[in-house]
Amino acid sequence: MMRRWTFYIALVVCLGFFVGLKFGIHPPIPASVLMIYMVLATLGILLFVAANEERFAAFLEPLKSVFEGRAPKVVQVLVLVAIPLLAGWGTWLRTSPTWDAPFEPRVVHPEPPSTFNLHGFPTETAKLKNPLRGVDPAQLEKLTNEGKTIYYQNCFFCHGDALAGDGHFANAFSPIPANFRDVGTISMLQESFVFWRVATGGPGLPKGATPWISAMPVWQNLLTEEEIWKVILYIYEGSGSTPRTWDEEVSHAGH
């Protein structure tokens, strides 16, 4: 009858849980959470097995036959060799050194330098203001549309066609490109900061921002200042956010 197989069925269900949790879930769950789920699943299976005396006896039978010496010699030897081997392997996995980079906290929005080189000229970061703001609405729309073209010619490969940081190449980079729809990126930044980030890219990040190995290009080598301001107009417009300002009026004008 089925009873003979109780132990093996329990084993298969347990393994099924493991495989499902480990490979069936995206994004993958952390190992510590997997551990908790597995302990709970195993307890649940044991509880089910133990709830019925007959079933429990059937479950224990294969174990008993090995440890009481009733099982074939080969099986006994295999089990007795496998247990220390598994324990040893687990310990080795936990203690062996890994090649993973050590965890280092990083500053996502580092303090901008007070001055930086723009086309070879030292420029004061705090004094930067988007010269394209303050024009009439029709003109602003035209400039923003030009910024959109610049965005889709230069930025969307990385920052994504919906500005969500998920362009074709996004996953090739660590750190991944900024998601402009996220409240933690451009919507909490002043335009002067954004200009500095776009103009100087990854290489312009200060020491405090290490260990950034940002793929963000140095756009001042490829775009004019005006083009950078235009694309900045677009990334705010396109992501539905407004730059941070210290002036309440302007900061909320878009809402």
Provide the binding-site residues for ligand HEC, judged by CB under 6 A. 109, 154-155, 157-159, 169, 173, 175, 177-178, 185-186, 194, 197-198, 202, 214-217, 219, 231, 235
CB of 179 to ligand HEC, least distance (A): 8
Q: In terms of CB distance, is 21 or 215 closer to ligand HEC? A: 215
* CA 18 to each of CA 31, 159, 244: distance values in angstroms, whole numbers, following the listed order: 11, 36, 47
Contact present, 244 and 251 (Cβ < 8 Å)? yes
CB of 194 to ligand HEC, least distance (A): 5
CB of 109 to ligand HEC, least distance (A): 5
CB of 28 to ligand HEC, least distance (A): 22
Distance of CA 46 to the CA centre of its chain: 36
CA dihedral 124, 126, 127, 131 (to 10 degrees): 110
Q: In terms of CB distance, is 30 or 105 closer to ligand HEC? A: 105
CB of 180 to ligand HEC, least distance (A): 7
Q: In terms of CB distance, is 143 or 216 closer to ligand HEC? A: 216
Enter the tokens of residue 68. Answer: 């009481």
Q: In terms of CB distance, is 62 or 177 closer to ligand HEC? A: 177
Query: How many CA atoms within 13 Å lie on the side-chain side of 254?
Result: 17
Q: In terms of CB distance, is 49 or 198 closer to ligand HEC? A: 198
Phi then psi for residue 37, to 5 deg, are -60, -40
Distance (Å, rounded) from C-alpha 135 to C-alpha 142? 11
* CA 193 to each of CA 38, 81, 112, 127, 207: distance values in angstroms, whole numbers, following the listed order: 47, 63, 7, 10, 16
